[in-house]
Amino acid sequence: MKHYLLKVICLFSFFIWSGLATAQKQTIKVIGTLVEEETSQPVPYATVALYTTTTKELITGITSNEEGKFSIPTTSTDFYVVISFMGYQTKTVTEFSISKGSANLGTISLAPDTKMLDAIVVEGETSKTTFELDKRVFNVGKDLSTTGASALEVLNNVPSVNVNIEGEVSLRGSAGVQILINGKPSILADESGNALGTITADMIEKIEVITNPSAKYEASGTSGILNIVLKKDSKKGWNGSISVNTGIPDNHSIGGSINRRTEKFNLFTQFGAGYRSRPRQSETISQNLLNGQTILSDGEEFRNETFFNIRLGTDYHFNKYNIFTLSGNFAYEIEDQPSETDFTFLENEQLVSQWMRNEDTEATNPKWQYELNWTKTFKNNEDHTFQISALGSSFGKDLTSKFVDTTLEGENVDTNQLTATNFEQTNYTFKADYVHPISDSYTLETGALYVMSDVGNNFEVQDFIDGEYVDNLEFTNNFEWNQNVLGVYATAAFETKIWGLKAGLRVENTDLQTLLTNTNEKNSQNFTNFFPSLHTSYKAAENFSIQAGYSRRIFRPRLWDLNPFFSIRNNFNIRTGNPNLQPEFTDSYEITSIYEIGDASLSSSIYHRYTTDVVERVSTFTDNVTFTTPQNIGTNSLFGFETNGKYTPVKWITFNGNFNYTYFQREGVFESQNFDFTGTQWSARLDAKIKLPADIDLELAGNYRSNVETVQGKQSGFAFMDIGLRKKIIKGKIVASLGIRDVFASRIQEIFVNQATFETYNFAQRGRFITFGISYAFGKGEAMSYSGSRRR
């Protein structure tokens, strides 16, 4: 018993003395400041860790603050310091002195990790496509041919997408594409207002190609959805870049991007200003086969623009589970559009008259957009989310034109005209989405969308008669267009590593009202439709997967389709709208295989689309004037095959290819004319991305689009090539880029209309564009290429 008591007393004494000895150890503060070696800028949020010298075990650690400073308390004196941060070489500090309870390491410079940076750059340089259950995601790299380019040029690089010379977007050769910005309708995605020009390549993170959208997405777009996702820099601290660009034809601009990230806030802005000029060559031939009369025109027009735009936004992380985002975008353009067109009037090949038509057009285009978004995540799962957003946008155009006809030979046709356009479009979108992952395999989604659109277009034409301008009531009109769409959806998904299934149903109600005020002509449509969707995927092997999908879609006529009159630029070739136009509906089916082997990947799709009440642009001929108007004509049954491939035979070169072939069968009757026919169309694209010595990259992109038969004639095919060259300086902090689009000036548009009583030919060409840009990045930003360039 005594021995046991003695042992307890000794052990108790040992613990007491050990505790006192530990308590008496002096606390040391290890302090210092981290900066970049090249720029001397602070390095925030780097990891600073203390390790024991003998056992190499971790003692403690901390991250540097926003100024790059750190302070670590420790009672150990036997330690060394290890500093690490992604993108920089790890630094170890073993020599330091301890004085007055402090180990001051001073200012520590971190050098970039060249190997790591190179690896990151290689991953991000080349645009690449990844596949998800109901969509393909085109991750936008720094494609050289899009230097100084707009969203339309980037879209033209996306597999399955084509943008023609007038900026009209098609998907797998079909129009009726719904374009979204960050998953929502946006004035910036309105092709009719050239608004996509305010989005530039450097602002885009990825583009989602959704050929068979699930019920989660708005049902608009018979051929599918393109969702442009904009960047929102997530790097902490100050980041940004500035870019200066120039080009031929005139394309001069300066732009920048700045981001400030803290634990609670992410502040971001992008801005640009500049001047650009876009020439366009055009030629038309209209032949009256009944009386032998012919109208020829040949001219050049310019779109000269001075532009300013700015985007501001902030994310506020209220807490771990709630994020509020407020953002706004404003753009302002001043347009000057001079043109000169020569006209010739022949009768039985004999000259009747020849004259020149000059146009002087000026316009101002303000655009703005704002958005408030709240995202809530739940504690049980970060994918369990609830999101509410409200978006408002507006696009305006105040345009005046003066047309002067001067007789050059033959009969006198001297005349003057004035036109004035006051256009205003306002959209409001309210959206709510709820995602609930019930388990690792099951997910439920539900939500609602309400879109209100209000458009007014006041168009006035005046003719110069007896020394004064008089209103031309035949062409003057005030057209109002109001459309409200309410959509509600629900989807359920089951997905494992091998197999996935997603089914959904969307219900949409459309309320459309149009009014032509000068004639009091009204059009009212109210209809409700169901839009089911079904998608499945199966991973047959590690490198082979299959996807299949079905969806039902709608194409609602837009303002420009419904407005009964909107162009007199060429009095012998007039485009008009049709206020009685009905929506078209499409049932879409698709099967896709994805195969990867070594350094190559291949995806192929077989698809079918059946469309009713197809909207086609039909030409009629009256008094030598061609009127082109959209009409609902029958059905279109389309079968297609598409394949996309990527191959990297060696590290310094990568090939990307796309091929699409379609066969279609049209059936329909318009004004007793039978439009039944069959046709084919195919397109191909091949890119080569080459890494040259001295940090120089080269990109070659070739495109071909075949001719295609239309309801009244055909549209010719064309081939064109883009080239890009880039040089990195100071390890990518400065980047110089050269881009040449349409190298051989071969990207043209030719449309032939061949009818029993008349024939027309329309030709258009934009020509070659050369751009050069240089940019500089600061903080942890990346050098970019920004010009604000818009649609071609």
The residue ranking higher by pLDDT, 26 or 52, is 52
Q: What is the structure's pLDDT at 534?
A: 95
Distance between CA atoms of 470 and 464, rounded to whole angstroms? 6
Query: Does residue 196 fall inside a structural domain?
Result: no
- Per-residue confidence band for 682, with pLDDT thresholds at 50, 70 and 90: very high
Residue 214 lies in a domain: no
587 within a domain of the structure (yes/no): yes
Residue where one domain finishes, among candidates 88, 112, 136: 112
Pair 364, 339: CB distance under 8 Å: no
Residue 655 has pLDDT above 80, yes or no: yes
Q: Check residue 133 and give its pLDDT.
A: 65
- Hey, is 7 helix, strand or coil? helix
The pLDDT, as a whole number, for residue 625 is 83
pLDDT at 11: 43
Identify whether 153 is part of a domain.
Answer: no
Look at residue 729 in the predicted model and tell me its pLDDT. Answer: 85
Between the ranges 125-134, 421-430, 484-493, 655-664, where is the mean pLDDT highest? 484-493
Domain at 70, CATH number: 2.60.40.1120
- Tell me if residue 85 falls in helix, strand or coil: coil
536 pLDDT band, cuts 50/70/90, is very high
- Across the chain, mean pLDDT equals 82
How far out from the chain centre does Cα 320 lie?
30
Chain segment 393-412, per-residue pLDDT in tens: 998 989 999 999 999 999 88
Over residues 632-647, the pLDDT tens digits come to: 999 999 999 999 888 8
- Per the model's pLDDT, the better-predicted residue between 230 and 213 turns out to be 213
Confidence of residue 792 (pLDDT cuts 50, 70, 90): very low
Alpha helices in 216-258 (DSSP H): none
CA angle (487 as vertex; 484, 491 as ends), nearest 5: 165
Say which residue, 614 or 220, is predicted with more confidence.
614
Q: Can you give the pLDDT at residue 189?
A: 58
Give pLDDT tens digits for 351-376: 999 999 999 999 999 999 889 999 99
Q: What is the pLDDT of residues 736-785, one digit of tens each?
A: 889 898 999 999 999 999 988 999 999 999 889 998 988 887 765 444 43
Question: Could you tell me if 106 and 243 lie in one domain?
Answer: no
- Give me the count of residues in the chain: 792
Q: Which of 112, 138, 160 represents a domain boundary (last residue)?
A: 112
Q: What are phi and psi of 744, to 5 degrees?
A: -100, 15
Residue range of the domain that includes 676: 237-779
Q: Can you tell me the distance from the alpha carbon of 452 to that of 481, in angstroms, rounded to the nearest whole number?
A: 11
pLDDT of residue 315: 84
Through-space distance between the first and last CA atoms of the chain, rounded to whole angstroms: 100
User: Among candidates 334, 345, 333, which has minimal Cα distance to 407?
Assistant: 345
Nearest to 34 by CA among 108, 134, 121, 91: 108
280 domain-assigned:
yes
Per the CB < 8 A criterion, the answer to whether 481 and 559 are in contact is yes
**Other residues' Cβ atoms within 10 Å of the Cβ of residue 568:** 17
**Residue 786 pLDDT more than 50?**
no
Q: Which of residues 116 and 778 earns the better pLDDT score?
A: 778
Does residue 220 belong to any structural domain of this protein? Answer: no
Q: What is the CATH number of the domain that holds 305?
A: 2.40.170.20
Q: Is the bond leading into 366 cis (omega within 30 degrees of zero)?
A: no
Burial label, 197 (beta-carbon count in 10 A; 0-12, 13-18, 19+)? buried
Please, what's the largest Cα pairwise distance for the chain?
Answer: 137
Q: What is the pLDDT of residues 194-213, one digit of tens each?
A: 456 546 666 677 888 887 78
- 185 in any annotated domain: no
Helices (H) and strands (E) counted in the chain, each on its own, are: 4, 46
Check residue 142 and give its pLDDT: 55
pLDDT of residue 492: 95
Q: Is the pLDDT of residue 342 over 70?
A: yes
Give tens-digit pLDDT for 439-494. 888 999 999 999 999 988 888 889 888 889 998 887 788 889 899 999 999 999 99
Instruction: Name every residue whose Cβ is closer than 8 Å to that of residue 615 and which is 6 or more positions away in sequence.
Output: 176, 555, 557, 561, 581, 584, 630, 631, 632, 633
Confidence of residue 237 (pLDDT cuts 50, 70, 90): low
* Total domains in the fold of the chain: 2
Phi, psi (degrees; rounded to nearest 5) at 22: -65, -40
Asked whether residue 273 is assigned to any structural domain, the reply reads: yes
Among residues 112, 145, 180, the one where a domain terminates is 112
